[in-house]
Structure 1
Amino acid sequence: MGDPGPGTPRPNRPCRIANCSGARGDPGYQMRRQATLGPMDFITGDYLAEMNLAENAEKMAAGRHDGWEPTAWDGLEQTLDVIKDKGIKIIINGGALNPKGLAQKAQKFANDKGLDLKIAYVYGDDLLQEVKTELEKTGKLPRHLDSENNKVSLAQNATDLLDTKGKPIVSANAYLGARAIVKGLELGADVIICGRVADASPVIGAAWYWHGWSDTDYDNLAGALVAGHLIECSAYVTGSNFSGFDEYPLDTFVDLSYGIAEIAVDGTSVITKHEDTNGLVNEDNVKCQFLYELQGSIYLNSDVAADTTGVRIEQVGKNRVKLSNIKGSPPPPTTKLAIFYHGGYEGQLLINATGYGTKEKFELSEKQLRHDMTQKGLIDKFQLLDFQVLGVPEANPRSQFASTTYLRVFVQADTEALIYALLKGWSEVAMMHFSGMHLSLDTRTAHPRSYLAFYPAVCAQDDLKEGVAVLSAGGEDVERVDAAHPPKYQELIPRENYETAHPVEIASFGTTRKARLGNICLARSGDKGANINFGIFVRKAEQYPWLQAFMTRPRLQELMGEDWKEDFFIERMEFANIQAVHFVIYGPLGRGVSSCRLLDALGKGFADYIRDKEVDVPERFLEEVAEVRKQRRAML
């Protein structure tokens, strides 16, 4: 296994790519395990969520942070000694704000250990100064990511970053493609450290280089893009965040291994994992991960647009699932630009109630606090003052814990003083409290903390100055190569939004009874800026016409219950080959994860909330699903 090096023909087989991270907390031993538990050609890692860069930008500027992710270094430190002999190359985005700094640290480590490694880094994603200069010069915001849809309402306060003094920008990073990565591999780099490349770009770059594709081999690139999407998120494709987990022994999901993609020359791939490791790779879980964080049928990257409408996901062996029928086309002329700025200050109060009269207790608390803020002339000064009731007390409770729920008072404001004013107001009315009121031990969350807000924008690809630099043994740039730009672009078209073409009468499926939707459907959901994506599927083809007819836009709105707001907007489309219906709900996450008022700021719990709803289900489906579950479990 392994890459024979630049200029040497690669073996005529799929390249084997193991992912070692999908979030900044993933430990370094996951990288070493991927390198040592079986043959491998590349190891990739995605350490960046949208928040990482912004959270560390000011600390780095003040000399209190290195700018790169510590767990990425942890992985390199544990793994660099084995990759040369095995012919493995590492491509990670753990360089974050300072990819050159992490590359230099890795180069020094290699020198000290006598390792003959060539280290490179990708540059060109950091556009902070350009965005700040343009905003201060013109007073105009970059185009919002969702602006092409005139039916979508932007979140309240979405344009606050126009206040460049009061709410200054702290980071602005473009999502880069794989072009610089390919250049680095062609220069012989053993390790490539990236900043904000798109999540799947390291996988695309590895497969592109291995198979010698051109930048217009769009079907192949599109296949690699979706394979990268499947494996880039830690253990999500091997059993984590899996809505069907309860059908298997729970020990299956302890100490999970991470995903591997074997990508063939035609862009098709097999998703798998190392043998004799925990977890599972089956159709159900791969479908769940495919549906995660999509925004419709066209998956966009800086190098290719992947049309996934006809995607096929098929079990081809134990812990081996084939991905095929992805079509590619030229990328859009723009790429995502993640801008973070100081949004203000926020805090929360957590007030517990037990048992009898809980609804009225929380109503009283809200009335008391709103009255106090109104009397002081502050009620209209807050950006947000939200009263959220969490949980429902158990009827005839088994314990006081089972009877206890809490009120979350969530507040955001321009100043710390306003948060303290709310806290002071609450302390003044606290002893007027309802029967049995009590608090969690830690009240520090009620004190103000600065929060960052997210503005998802787009920027022109042709304006980017993306490239790769290879370091000398002394840590200086010895080779720098411009990545150039895609040879062709394709303008974005409106995303698909439709109900099923020929809905079947629901009554035709026979006798029904009330059951949880999750009894017959699996699903996954996640965040896309202000929006939640939600994909739901059945596991037998004969059940799909029912799902198509049942899961409409009005039905989803109904199932959302009190969470639905009139300024939300829903897009709907279908993936027929995997019996799935997919939705994007625009608006629930406000200005995104970092400033969201919801507990579930990442939208991950939305799918299981909808699956928990009781609906009229054809009785024969429940019997069929019991048999499917039995079969799936037998394949483990």
Structure 2
Amino acid sequence: MGDLGSNSTPATRPCRIANCSGARGDPGYQMRRQAILGPVDFITGDYLAEMNLAENAEGMKAGVHDGWEPTAWDGLEQTLDAIKEKGIRIIINGGALNPQGLAQKAQRFVNEKGLDLKIAYVYGDDLLEEVKSNLEKTGKLPQHLDAENDKVSLAQNATDLLDTKGKPVVSANAYLGARAIVKGLELGADVIICGRVADASPVIGAAWYWHKWSDTDYDRLAGALIAGHLIECSAYVTGSNFAGFDEYPLETFVDLSYGIAEIADDGTSVITKHDGTNGLVNEDNVKCQFLYELQGSTYLNSDVSADTSGIKIEQVGKNRVRLSNIRGHPPPPTTKLAVFYHGGYEAQMLVNATGYATAEKWQLFELQMRHVLKQKGLIDDFQLLDFQILGTAEANPRSQFASTTYCRLFVQADTEAAIYGLLKGWSEIGMMHFSGFHLSLDRRTAPPRSYLAFYPAIVDQNDLNEGAALLTTDGEDARRVDAGHPPQYQKLSPRENYETASPVDLSSFGPTRKARLGDVALARSGDKGANINFGIFARHSHHYPWLQSFLTRQRLQELIGPEDWKEDFFIERMEFSNILAVHFVIYGPLGRGVSSCRLLDALGKGFADYIRDKVVDVPVSFLEEVQEVKKERRAML
């Protein structure tokens, strides 16, 4: 891309970037709020989870979807007049599978309203035809994202998309960086509509353009990358999904504002929010969000690799938290390629049991179901036949609800016929049920539905042809500018995986008592394909040696428990000493990812609070100190 400007010029003021979305359901009024509640220079939004593009592709093929996210258009419709008045620019990935289409709709709107705004879109992420063609010609899969880690086992059925007839590819999109966004801003665009750019790319692009950085200003780009990581997920950095929420008045977390990053010329940033809005921005919550969806200390983007091992997170004012000490390096030669394909069909049955002999009831239910499936010759027709028992019947129950558990029979198969066969078999033996059997009223999930499976791959960056197109008032491409490629790459090293360097004898921390791990530590977890990431941190610096020594890989496996742990899982562990955190990646629990995961918690978000709820031996002094902090906090509020 070349040098975008000399860094010897006087430093500009920080660029103030507001986020308006982290998921496709975020309403349009969040974009408008960010525009009108205080000064900002850019509004960015991330409307895409991994599933959106595949579902949009199916909808477009059926003629029932425009390919872009309706809530993104809702935001633009409500906000374009405000950005014209205030001189704000918008960069969002709500264009999803059809960024050109959403850009053209926006162009028609500004024409009608006489707003004189320039609209552009980013192209080059959609690789569907290339992936389909390569699969059909070569019969070989693109390289899996985790393939270079020889300790990791790929999920069962991970290679099913080789069946190009029975399980055709639906979508294939590369995660683009910020290069094309910068090009669009250089063309004068007020609004840039992207498809599948990486979550933080809109923030990187805004700061890169604002400060006129070079594409080799890696420390600066890395700082913007982590600021983008922090604010890109709706209200997560302002109080949503916060492990410490119970230490504050619950009203704090109603109608939350979304985050703002003030990114300085040197790449450091302050995370904040608009004054007078609900939520909070403090060290604890920013640490939680930093630890979300990480895969070790190196955070990757197509333009830069950020070394976060020494990150500093510091409170510098009310609702103001500063990030610093992030180091940047050239990006890897590849970027992520999200491939979705028809995985088959799935369904679930929800069956309830109450009270006495609950365990035996569920054993009988499974025996009956497996017997009838063998009898019908269907037992081998399922990709997955999973009997999941949820809840524990309360002893001497205070109510029938407290005495009730349910079984979630979750099934996947190549054909609808197999699942209909299961339902028919169940109807035939339904009156042979155990005592007290009853069904949930909602039977909508029992019939089979088609499901999409995820194959996370990588693609060479030099094979991408990304760029930005600026529209004429007629919605045609006025100018198209190729974004080029990064000037250099750096091959990825194996991810860090180590126990603490200087473990301490746990008895040295004094007397202990049984308590929940969450009584002295906060945490956050999330999904990355098949994997769960889990970061946990101590509340005081002198608690950290205990957490480091206590929370080993083996200990985490024990806390996960024998029912949830599988022998083909693998754990990586590393530490962020400046923020008192221990971080893990658990490879494998989510199977083929969110869209086809057998678990209720397909996004891995509940994992952190599950581990925090485990009762362990905790130093008494730690519990007392954390309780004092909580009392002081409540008194201040």
Structure 1 counterpart of 2:568: 567
The AA in structure 1 aligned to 2:130 is E
Structure 1 counterpart of 2:626: 625
Question: Structure 1 CA distance, aligned partners of 2:449 and 2:437?
Answer: 25
Structure 2 counterpart of 1:190: 190
Q: Identify if the C-alpha distance between structure 1 residues 330 and 524 changes in structure 2 by more than 3 Å, giving closer, same or farther.
A: same
The residue matched to 1:50 in structure 2 has which SS? coil
The AA in structure 1 aligned to 2:594 is V
Structure 1 counterpart of 2:436: 436
Q: Does residue 1:148 correspond to 2:160, yes or no?
A: no
The correspondence of residues 28-427 of structure 1 with structure 2, limited to 5 A, is 28-427=28-427
Question: Structure 1 CA distance, aligned partners of 2:125 and 2:277?
Answer: 36
The AA in structure 1 aligned to 2:509 is F
In the TM superposition, what is the alpha-carbon distance from 1:530 to its structure 2 partner?
0.2
Question: Structure 2 CA distance, aligned partners of 1:631 and 1:33?
Answer: 33
In the TM superposition, what is the alpha-carbon distance from 1:212 to its structure 2 partner?
0.4
Paired residues of 1:10 and 1:210 also in contact (CA < 8 A): no
In the TM superposition, what is the alpha-carbon distance from 1:12 to its structure 2 partner?
2.1
Paired residues of 2:590 and 2:597 also in contact (CA < 8 A): yes
Question: Structure 1 CA distance, aligned partners of 2:465 and 2:584?
Answer: 35
In the TM superposition, what is the alpha-carbon distance from 1:629 to its structure 2 partner?
2.2
In the TM superposition, what is the alpha-carbon distance from 1:142 to its structure 2 partner?
0.2
Question: Structure 1 CA distance, aligned partners of 2:570 and 2:636?
Answer: 40
The AA in structure 2 aligned to 1:404 is T
The residue matched to 1:445 in structure 2 has which SS? coil
Question: Structure 2 CA distance, aligned partners of 1:633 and 1:359?
Answer: 43
The AA in structure 2 aligned to 1:102 is L
In the TM superposition, what is the alpha-carbon distance from 1:61 to its structure 2 partner?
2.3
Q: Deviations over 1:203-260 (max 9, x none)?
A: 0000000000000000000000000000000000000000100111110000000000
Question: Structure 1 CA distance, aligned partners of 2:636 and 2:564?
Answer: 38
Q: Deviations over 1:296-316 (max 9, x none)?
A: 000000000000000000000
In the TM superposition, what is the alpha-carbon distance from 1:10 to its structure 2 partner?
10
Q: Deviations over 1:76-117 (max 9, x none)?
A: 000000112211000000000000000000000000001010
Q: Identify if the C-alpha distance between structure 1 residues 635 and 459 changes in structure 2 by more than 3 Å, giving closer, same or farther.
A: farther
TM-score, normalising length: structure 1: 0.98
The residue matched to 2:236 in structure 1 has which SS? coil
Paired residues of 1:22 and 1:232 also in contact (CA < 8 A): yes
The AA in structure 2 aligned to 1:580 is A
Structure 2 counterpart of 1:499: 499
Q: Identify if the C-alpha distance between structure 1 residues 190 and 633 changes in structure 2 by more than 3 Å, giving closer, same or farther.
A: farther
Q: Deviations over 1:488-516 (max 9, x none)?
A: 00001100000001100001001000000
Q: Identify if the C-alpha distance between structure 1 residues 628 and 356 changes in structure 2 by more than 3 Å, giving closer, same or farther.
A: same
Paired residues of 1:523 and 1:534 also in contact (CA < 8 A): yes
In the TM superposition, what is the alpha-carbon distance from 1:429 to its structure 2 partner?
1.4
Q: Deviations over 1:441-474 (max 9, x none)?
A: 1112111000000000000000000000000001
The AA in structure 2 aligned to 1:628 is V
Identity of aligned residues (%): 83
In the TM superposition, what is the alpha-carbon distance from 1:633 to its structure 2 partner?
4.5
The residue matched to 1:164 in structure 2 has which SS? coil
The residue matched to 1:563 in structure 2 has which SS? coil
The AA in structure 2 aligned to 1:65 is H
The residue matched to 1:496 in structure 2 has which SS? coil
The residue matched to 2:382 in structure 1 has which SS? coil
Question: Structure 2 CA distance, aligned partners of 1:298 and 1:456?
Answer: 18
Question: Structure 1 CA distance, aligned partners of 2:12 and 2:387?
Answer: 61
In the TM superposition, what is the alpha-carbon distance from 1:187 to its structure 2 partner?
0.8
The residue matched to 1:226 in structure 2 has which SS? helix
Structure 2 counterpart of 1:551: 551
Structure 2 counterpart of 1:594: 595
Question: Structure 1 CA distance, aligned partners of 2:629 and 2:271?
Answer: 22
The residue matched to 2:412 in structure 1 has which SS? strand
Instruction: Please say which of residues 552-561 and 374-383 is displaced more in the overlay.
Output: 374-383
Q: Deviations over 1:322-349 (max 9, x none)?
A: 0110000000000000000000000011
The AA in structure 1 aligned to 2:285 is N
In the TM superposition, what is the alpha-carbon distance from 1:375 to its structure 2 partner?
1.8
Q: Deviations over 1:179-222 (max 9, x none)?
A: 00001111110000000000000000000000000000000000
Q: Deviations over 1:592-619 (max 9, x none)?
A: 0000000000000000000000000000
Question: Structure 2 CA distance, aligned partners of 1:484 and 1:109?
Answer: 31
Question: Structure 2 CA distance, aligned partners of 1:402 and 1:79?
Answer: 48
Question: Structure 2 CA distance, aligned partners of 1:379 and 1:395?
Answer: 36
Question: Structure 1 CA distance, aligned partners of 2:391 and 2:305?
Answer: 42
Structure 1 segments (4+ residues) deviating >3 Å? 630-636
CA RMSD of aligned residues (A): 1.0
Question: Structure 1 CA distance, aligned partners of 2:636 and 2:235?
Answer: 19
In the TM superposition, what is the alpha-carbon distance from 1:626 to its structure 2 partner?
1.0
Question: Structure 2 CA distance, aligned partners of 1:634 and 1:189?
Answer: 49
The AA in structure 2 aligned to 1:592 is G
Q: Deviations over 1:55-80 (max 9, x none)?
A: 11022123221000000000000000
Instruction: Please say which of residues 626-635 and 366-375 is displaced more in the overlay.
Output: 626-635
Question: Structure 2 CA distance, aligned partners of 1:395 and 1:188?
Answer: 68
Paired residues of 1:22 and 1:233 also in contact (CA < 8 A): yes
Question: Structure 2 CA distance, aligned partners of 1:629 and 1:224?
Answer: 33
The AA in structure 1 aligned to 2:612 is R
In the TM superposition, what is the alpha-carbon distance from 1:634 to its structure 2 partner?
5.7
The correspondence of residues 451-490 of structure 1 with structure 2, limited to 5 A, is 451-490=451-490
The AA in structure 1 aligned to 2:202 is P
The residue matched to 2:478 in structure 1 has which SS? strand
Paired residues of 2:21 and 2:45 also in contact (CA < 8 A): yes
Question: Structure 1 CA distance, aligned partners of 2:11 and 2:615?
Answer: 53
Provide the aligned length of Structure 1 versus Structure 2: 628
Question: Structure 1 CA distance, aligned partners of 2:72 and 2:246?
Answer: 32
Paired residues of 1:539 and 1:628 also in contact (CA < 8 A): no
Paired residues of 2:11 and 2:265 also in contact (CA < 8 A): no
In the TM superposition, what is the alpha-carbon distance from 1:631 to its structure 2 partner?
4.2
Question: Structure 1 CA distance, aligned partners of 2:634 and 2:263?
Answer: 27
Q: Does residue 1:613 correspond to 2:614, yes or no?
A: yes
The AA in structure 2 aligned to 1:94 is G
Q: Which runs of 5+ in 2 are unaligned?
A: 1-8
TM-score, normalising length: structure 2: 0.98
Paired residues of 2:126 and 2:173 also in contact (CA < 8 A): yes
Q: Identify if the C-alpha distance between structure 1 residues 232 and 633 changes in structure 2 by more than 3 Å, giving closer, same or farther.
A: farther
